[in-house]
Chains A and B, each alone.
Chain A
């Protein structure tokens, strides 16, 4: 379980912007990467991505960061809850 302190430490605007660019480019979203609020939900009323998009993002993450997303720890919804939490997960698991 991560506590609040480690979550604060793990937010990094440069990394988040890189990830924003990857998502906007992968999904051909009609917004600027800087317009993604790092705390807003990626699902539903936030960015509005769905499960088809998440498969696309998983492939881009695998190619860019060198690891494969898994969901069997049941944290999928939490990992994709915001740009910030997705970035935190990627930084913990990246191998390139």
Chain B
């Protein structure tokens, strides 16, 4: 017999577990919504939960678990990826609270229901071994690779992460986030983190700095903001603007500069922690960036190195994961990050492999040769990729349009340079120096 673990640790019926706008939602109401939705879900085994409203997403995730359905988390929603996944999971359906539709999979609308049948919180305890989520990463050949997460691993990982920065001290707080819950880091650091530590989830996902401030202003304290370096940079961009006080800041997805961390802590009057992780392993470590550059692994996660690189392993990681960053182990459970390995790129918090992107570029009919490269990072603004393409007969617009079908918008090249040939050497390889020179020529034009 295996143990079961609760979906929500503070299951008192009158506890506030979410806010929609300034409106609190209590556990009893949440349980009613889950019961109602669980009874309506189609009888399939795999679901893509695209609910934009974080409360509805949470209801839908709980309802899927009740029905023993597995939620698929995709790195993006490009047409090609959805088709590829739909081909591998023929019973896949999509649950949505927007107008999203896709020809390859049936889409079910999140119901606007008012009935809330009474349900005991005991129904939301799930076996540790129950398959809960399939987290996809884009493999180097372009085929999406699934990573299975069991309920027990998700819960243990969320608890270890929250314990590492004592988020339990903020029980009763409300967590507002700008990150999408459809991606692994957003899923872990909002829905799972909050519900495993007695925090309430805010249903919204504010986008503009003015939205974030307005949403925070109408919430009671204590309050937590989960965001990314991109949003933090936008929030502090206006000198002197007064930002609403928060009690805890969490940043994920891409490394923060120490300067931005110092500024954010001062402007929000709150400690700022960063989480390091990847889709395959999930969250791995955290640090308070203003105090140390060393990352500390979460409980039960260990790193080791061999000639291939750095591996993460632990109870919450099903199979050891080779990390795509250059890491220096500092003894105990601490390490330093020294940027990505050569092939990996990170644009605004999204990771991809140059080999993978180049593969997609060369799959476009009419492209004879092509390559993606990452220019030198200037440390400030978001650095975009450059592509060099040999494609007589195609316009740059036509190639961009084809790329848009294949890859996430953040990785689209700026610029896309049409050239007569690529500077390949005698062995057919493309030396980085030759590409850098070519990029400089285009920049000088």
Contact = CB atoms under 8 A, between A and B. Distances in A.
A32 interface: no
A52 B230 contact: yes
B409 interface: yes
B348 A52 contact: yes
B208 A45 contact: no
Nearest to B401: A45
Given A44-B404, A55-B230, A70-B208, A50 B410 contact: yes
B231 interface: yes
Given A44-B404, A45-B404, A55-B234, A68 B209 contact: yes
B400 interface: yes
A50 B407 CA distance: 13
Chain B, interface residues (CB within 8 Å), range: 20 to 34
Interface in A21-77: 30, 44-45, 48, 50-52, 54-56, 58-59, 62-63, 68-72, 76
Contact of B211 (A44, A50, A51, A72): A72
What secondary structure prevails in chain B residues at the interface with A?
helix
B427 to A, nearest CB: 33
B382 interface: yes
B210 A55 contact: no
Contacts of A44: 404, 409
Contacts of B210: 58, 68-70
A77 B225 CA distance: 24
B223 to A, nearest CB: 17
A69 B208 contact: yes
B208 A58 contact: yes
Interface string B389-425: 0000000000011001000011010110000000000
Contacts of A45: 400-401, 404
B206 interface: yes
A33 to B, nearest CB: 17
A65 B194 CA distance: 38
A72 B400 contact: no
Nearest to B408: A50
B254 to A, nearest CB: 11
B234 A59 contact: yes
A44 B401 CA distance: 8
A81 B318 CA distance: 44
B89 interface: no
Given A52-B230, A59-B237, A71 B208 contact: yes
Nearest to A30: B415
A70 B234 contact: no
Contacts of B414: 30
Contacts of B215: 72
Given A30-B415, A52-B348, 16 more contacts: A48-B404, A48-B409, A48-B412, A50-B412, A52-B410, A55-B207, A55-B208, A58-B210, A58-B234, A59-B237, A68-B208, A70-B210, A71-B206, A72-B211, A72-B214, A76-B207
7 contacts: A48-B404, A48-B409, A48-B412, A55-B209, A58-B208, A59-B237, A71-B207
